[in-house]
Structure 1
């Protein structure tokens, strides 16, 4: 009853298929299940799909390989074109860099020429100052900074013999940097940057050299003016003492000249200034030599004056008498020093002077030193300012040990105090 109910509800169960295989006397039975049928269909479908896929691959393989090769060839051509373009850019940069390097080397050569000119000028100035005995500082060829030099004397280094190597290094560095940037696929303004940096550097150096040159000319003018002013002061003092001064060194002779006007050249300006300085220093040295040779020093430094130049009571007769010099208090044996350079024209006993030395200083001026206890020079000796010529005493017409000192111009006695006072003014000017 239950079985019948189930058949009514779910339907009649499907009978399985049976395959009978007979081979001679042998008979086999094979029952075909539904899942076996499904599995067989799936297997056959997979085989069919595999066959279709393999057939499609074989058909399309040549097309795929051709397309791939075409794409690779196209990419290769594009890379080759890019490489060729980069090489062309590198060549252009290299050519530009070579030109920039040549320009830099030309500028360096010009800077070197300017430096050598300044060095030569400084050597001329040093030789001139040393020859004239001047002691001063002048701007030289020191170092040139990248900034403009300051007035406090700071200097920067100027280009030296390694400057061409510096230019080559600058060019190589710029070339390598440009090639590196090109290899990365972009071209910045490297060569322009290098050229700009070089131009700024050379501009600063050129300005520094020009300022040094201007400072040299200005300093030369200052020295020439100072030398002329000092020479004028010395000459004025000498003239007030009646000393003739050779003014030929101070006169600028005007020769007959002419020609069309042309802009001045810096080298000519420098030579003109140097000639003016040379003339001023020559004149200064001339008047200094004259002043050093004349009797402006003190014959008995630190000694008191006991009798001055002019009329005074005569120590022996009591009446007025002319005193042709000045007397210095000097104990016997005190060293007597010359007041100027010259030649001894008298040395020994001379009437009322006692032991006396007379020195000719030139220009008609002579000095006499009397009453010496001992004479230490002889006629014909050349003496310099400050040389010891004898020892003080009381020989001749004297009342006690002292030094009688006279100055004579063209044989006439003059007041020695004028020369002593002038000597105090000349000391800072001639030393």
Structure 2
């Protein structure tokens, strides 16, 4: 063994040489095995790593795609649900608007009959906003909390009003809500609505529909009550107010439709108004008005001392002391059946009001009508005079039923009672 200039000599016997050979062989085997497995392991580990990465990437990509599809599907379904709700609201709105257009003429009839206060028009709480075409804005309510508040404020409610007779009705705050062209539509709104806002609009429309029926029921009840009162007054005079038609009925049976709530109440109100107007028409032809002011009354109906014979006699009417030339007006609509000189009446006008009832106006100075004339209530018949069996200028006024004299005050008091129902 040389190291530089130094040379060393080592002598190994055969046993040491044998041991060294064995140890060297073992070391070579160990090193060779490690090198072999090391060289084989590098490519083996490289291939699985690339595959795993690719599979992981594809799995994540598939999951993201599924989540995107799921979100898109939810968004599409939600948008369709909102559009369906909006379409339903629009349909309800159109129905409510059409119903109010139908109700306006019948409300006008109710006003004419004194069972409805003199309001301009009866509006309906119709919502105006609609969801935007951009559905994403509907999902931004959390970021824009004012959206729902503004949408709900767009619902316009009418103000409740109580009539002098206690009938609860609804007065519109707008004069043109009944006009479908003036009424704002959901489709023309710029608001973005949430589900809560749409529910608010739905409740507003439902409330309008309920209020329509409530008002019709209230008007029907009021019309029926007034009809009964007028009929009672007329019955006290023996006036037949209705013809019995219950024996002339028929037709095939047909069940009431399930959605006939509005139609049923509308028909009931219309029938109640028809009956009320019919009774008022009958009362218009009856002498319920006073011919002159009550302070001019100088002699009442009944037994009194005859001014000429000075003995008891029946005074068949009421005398109204008035200056000559004072206009005399009819107390009800009717037909002139007498107009001229008639014994103790002097110049007389007699009016036939139907139902066997006639009125007479005597002692007139001048007659302004002719036989056959149709006169309304309040028409001028002539002027006060003192013709015939008279002690001075006055009007002698009579009411007769089938030729029999009736106290005119009964009719005048009945007229005041009916007038109080208006």
Normalised by the length of structure 1, the TM-score is 0.65
> 1:255-300: CA deviations, max 9, x gaps?
68768x99x723x121111111111111111111111221111101
Where does 1:82-97 land on structure 2 (aligned, <5 Å)? 89-97=67-75
Contact 1:308 1:323 in 2 (8 A): yes
Of 278-287 and 131-140, deviating more is 131-140
Where does 1:54-93 land on structure 2 (aligned, <5 Å)? 89-93=67-71
Contact 1:118 1:140 in 2 (8 A): no
Where does 1:321-332 land on structure 2 (aligned, <5 Å)? 321-332=313-324
> 1:10-33: CA deviations, max 9, x gaps?
xxxxxxxxxxxxxxxxxxxxxxxx
Query: Which residue, out of 93, 98, 116, partners 2:76?
Result: 98
Q: Residue in 1 aligned with 2:136?
A: 172
Counterpart CA distance in 2 for 1:330 and 1:314 is 20
Counterpart CA distance in 2 for 1:329 and 1:86 is 105
Counterpart CA distance in 2 for 1:96 and 1:329 is 91
| SS of aligned partner of 1:298 | coil
Contact 1:241 1:418 in 2 (8 A): no
Counterpart CA distance in 2 for 1:346 and 1:241 is 24
Counterpart CA distance in 2 for 1:283 and 1:272 is 17
Distance 1:252 1:230, change over 3 A: farther
Contact 2:303 2:313 in 1 (8 A): yes
Counterpart CA distance in 1 for 2:291 and 2:61 is 97
Query: Which residue, out of 334, 356, 363, partners 1:364?
Result: 356
Counterpart CA distance in 2 for 1:248 and 1:158 is 50
Q: Residue in 1 aligned with 2:299?
A: 307
Contact 1:93 1:175 in 2 (8 A): no
Is residue 393 of structure 1 aligned with residue 382 of structure 2? no
Distance 1:253 1:283, change over 3 A: farther
Counterpart CA distance in 1 for 2:136 and 2:387 is 92
The two structures, once aligned, show a CA RMSD in angstroms of 3.3
- CA displacement at 1:311 relative to structure 2: 2.1
Where does 1:15-34 land on structure 2 (aligned, <5 Å)? none
Runs of 4 or more consecutive aligned structure 1 residues displaced over 4 Å after TM superposition: 80-88, 136-140, 174-178, 251-259
Q: Residue in 2 aligned with 1:265?
A: 258
Is residue 220 of structure 1 aligned with residue 216 of structure 2? yes
Contact 1:101 1:167 in 2 (8 A): no
Normalised by the length of structure 2, the TM-score is 0.67
Of 127-136 and 309-318, deviating more is 127-136
Q: Residue in 2 aligned with 1:320?
A: 312
| SS of aligned partner of 2:125 | coil
Contact 1:303 1:330 in 2 (8 A): no
Contact 1:97 1:175 in 2 (8 A): no
Bigger helix share:
1
Counterpart CA distance in 2 for 1:177 and 1:409 is 78
| SS of aligned partner of 1:398 | coil
Q: Residue in 2 aligned with 1:142?
A: 125
Q: Residue in 1 aligned with 2:242?
A: 246
Contact 1:339 1:385 in 2 (8 A): yes
- CA displacement at 1:205 relative to structure 2: 2.4
Counterpart CA distance in 1 for 2:194 and 2:278 is 51
